[in-house]
Structure 1
Amino acid sequence: MLIEYVCNKLSRVRWRPVSDALIQPGFETSFICGTVDGGECNKLMLWSLETSSVDESVDICLRHELPFRGDVTQIIAFDNLAFVTSNVGTGNLYRFSEPSGKLIEMQKWDNLDAYGCTDAVYAPSLNSVIICGKEGAIRIVDINSLNNEPKKSKILSQTSLECIEFLSQNEVIVGNESGHLKVLDLRTNDVSMSLGYSLCIVSCVKKNPSNNHIIASGNDVGVVSLWDLRNNASHLLHISAHSSLISELHYKENENNTIITSSYDGQLLKWILSPSSQFKKVDSIMGKDGDSPINSFHININNDLIFSTDNEALYFGQL
């Protein structure tokens, strides 16, 4: 496991998509990070993993950094672009410049959410980024028409929307601060389904890569839940292994019955499910309860793992 102390608290870490990396050798090991708690002096940083030609050792190397206003709340890397949201309500679109390997700002939106953006997701079939925030509404940014004003939904929740996931061309699902999951029909701008969760904050939500109707969510007390949006949205699982907020949740590439979670309790866990979406076991990947909180992690298609902790450390390893 490689460790790099970056002297900045990293709120989000994201691999650059491998499909983009094929354009230029070496970019499959590039990733982008955003900082938090820096006020007006936050940063976006582009890193890469470089292998020594002498002893084949691997180093984490900073390639480029640029200032960013507000805390970074989400980074989405897709195609040759990165979209970054902040807690002051802004959204920035960047392009990866070749061959310099720098991030070039293309456009900025200053008022995506009056109280701060919390999460965003890329919708490939719409070629749009969909943002949620503390105002309780979503906004849709059309990447094909950057000069157009983002479309805004009506208020979907009286409490903050904390997370969002794209379900289909017509639907997204959001989780809110009061513990509910809501499915929004983008055609009618109405909530088509509302799932009772608990009084806990829904901190993250993801769909199963091969079954859009199977939804996994995490909350602020360390519980992972699984939902089936068919059959009147049945609740399949409700399991606790973390002792604190689940900061991120991702399905493992090419393993639709494996979920990885990170938490403020300092643990990175792997949840193994059966083909029928029943719980089998949970394994520890890194950390133990009481370690420095894990703020963010990401795994690429090659099973390369990066994650950041609250003690300003950046980690790289293989899953």
Structure 2
Amino acid sequence: MGENIQGTFTSEKISKIRWKREDFSEAKSFITGSWDNPVNHITHWTFQTNDDDETYPVNVSSHLFEGDVTEIQFINTTCFVASSSIGSVKLLQIEDNPSLPLKELTIWENIHQFKTSEQASCTALATFKQDIATVGEDGKINLLTAQQKTPVRTIENADSCSLICIDFLRHNEIITSNTRGHMKLWDLRNHQDIPATTFMLPDQLKTEATSIAHHPTQRHIVAAGGGDGGLSVWDLRQSTFPRSQLLAHSHAVSEVIFHPDRPDNLFTCSMNGELWRWNSAQSSKLKSDTSDSHWLATRGPNAKVDIIQLCTPIHKPINSIDIDRTTLLCGCDNEAMYVVRDVLL
């Protein structure tokens, strides 16, 4: 590990890690969720400075959580939702005094289950302000809102196989992916339970999208990390096939994220413990619409994507990453989490 990387032992495997973002200021605390325990935890961390002027994470409160934590997403600066492998979702709040326990506001229980009434994992969720969308092993989509204790809408047969990813593109538009490698775009204004468009990889590259993320300012651009370790970039306006497919990790991509303020930078982590930063730098000779993203020009003789390995592979899955400004967090299966500073230098 480099000098800019700080590891913290957590005594449990970390499945998700998310910054608590502040308004117009640097994030100073974050949330982790665990998995593979009889009872798991959602933990709130802040930073303290010791006598040597070194800053390090400190556990300030922990919340018992039934099932594995499969996703965590904030809906505002203090409230977040967490999904469970037992098919439930919780809305939790961080108190003004961070040492106080997390406050449980709402539980949506068993909103994912098979037709036999057996539990189905809520595999992922996405948020758009107060709106929440969930997907699960049961092929179902649930639309929730923080103000209501029952689902606003349920698309029972959204897919015939397990759904594993979801992302809000706009307030009325979501994209999902399944275990067969299909991505579907849903217009929530349409009350018929059918997707607006289906996107897929070429037949020779059939693999599931294990993580999807939209470009922060150009939401028609979507990056998808694959079960084969590859990275695909899609322009949802133009084609049902990806604009580019990039060789990446040798194992499945666990998570892919764009930098929220500098989206020419994208970050991926993988099941073999790799952590990479991608930069879609362009040659000055490359002729393209300057109003569009460099990510749509990552093919051809003048295109260039720089990849930087941010740490030595740890040979255990890195399950989750999140970035604020120049500081990146990652949670791993080696019962540790890492703070990586100065990642854009």
Q: What TM-score, normalized by structure 1, do the two folds share?
A: 0.91
Q: Which residue of 1 aligns with 2:187?
A: 185
**Native 8 Å contact 1:17 1:78 kept in 2:** no
Q: Which residue of 1 aligns with 2:320?
A: 296
What aligned pairs does 1:37-186 form with structure 2 within 5 A after superposition? 37-39=36-38, 41-52=39-50, 54-79=51-76, 80-101=78-99, 102-114=101-113, 115-124=120-129, 127-143=130-146, 145-186=147-188
Alignment partner of 1:166: what SS? strand
1:35 maps to 2:42: no
1:286 maps to 2:285: no
Shift of 1:210: 1.1
Q: Which residue of 1 aligns with 2:301?
A: none
Identity %: 26
Equivalents in 2 of 1:140, 1:37: separation in Å? 27
**Native 8 Å contact 2:321 2:329 kept in 1:** yes
Alignment partner of 1:255: what SS? coil
Equivalents in 1 of 2:98, 2:175: separation in Å? 37
- Letter in structure 2 aligned against 1:14: R
Q: Which residue of 2 aligns with 1:14?
A: 18
**Native 8 Å contact 2:74 2:80 kept in 1:** yes
> Which region of structure 1 is more displaced relative to structure 2, 182-191 or 113-122?
182-191
1:263 maps to 2:263: no
- Letter in structure 1 aligned against 2:61: H
- Letter in structure 1 aligned against 2:75: F
Equivalents in 1 of 2:151, 2:178: separation in Å? 25
Equivalents in 2 of 1:98, 1:232: separation in Å? 47
- For residues 35-71 of structure 1, give each alpha carbon's deviation from its aligned partner in whole angstroms, at most 9, with x where no partner exists: 10013x111111111123x321112211001210000
Equivalents in 2 of 1:312, 1:100: separation in Å? 23
Shift of 1:158: 1.1
Which among 180, 197, 215 is matched to residue 208 of structure 1?
Answer: 215
Equivalents in 2 of 1:139, 1:120: separation in Å? 9
Q: Which residue of 1 aligns with 2:338?
A: 315
The two structures, once aligned, show a CA RMSD in angstroms of 1.7
Alignment partner of 2:132: what SS? strand
Q: Which residue of 2 aligns with 1:230?
A: 237
Q: Which residue of 1 aligns with 2:259?
A: 252
- For residues 61-106 of structure 1, give each alpha carbon's deviation from its aligned partner in whole angstroms, at most 9, with x where no partner exists: 1100121000000001231201000111010000111124431111
**Native 8 Å contact 2:61 2:98 kept in 1:** no
Change (3 A) 1:308 1:261: same
Shift of 1:111: 1.3
- Whichever structure has more strand as a proportion of its residues is 1
Gaps of 5+ in 2: 114-119, 283-292, 299-303
Equivalents in 1 of 2:89, 2:209: separation in Å? 22
Equivalents in 1 of 2:53, 2:175: separation in Å? 44
Q: What TM-score, normalized by structure 2, do the two folds share?
A: 0.85
**Native 8 Å contact 2:211 2:225 kept in 1:** yes
Shift of 1:264: 0.6
- Letter in structure 2 aligned against 1:213: H
- For residues 101-130 of structure 1, give each alpha carbon's deviation from its aligned partner in whole angstroms, at most 9, with x where no partner exists: 431111111112111101111112xx2111
Alignment partner of 1:191: what SS? coil
- For residues 2-59 of structure 1, give each alpha carbon's deviation from its aligned partner in whole angstroms, at most 9, with x where no partner exists: 111111011001110122x96xxxx9321111110013x111111111123x321112
- Letter in structure 1 aligned against 2:142: R
**Native 8 Å contact 1:16 1:78 kept in 2:** no
- Letter in structure 2 aligned against 1:84: A
Total equivalences in the alignment: 307
Equivalents in 2 of 1:36, 1:147: separation in Å? 26
Equivalents in 2 of 1:169, 1:311: separation in Å? 37
- Letter in structure 2 aligned against 1:295: N
Shift of 1:234: 4.7
- For residues 176-196 of structure 1, give each alpha carbon's deviation from its aligned partner in whole angstroms, at most 9, with x where no partner exists: 100011101112232011011
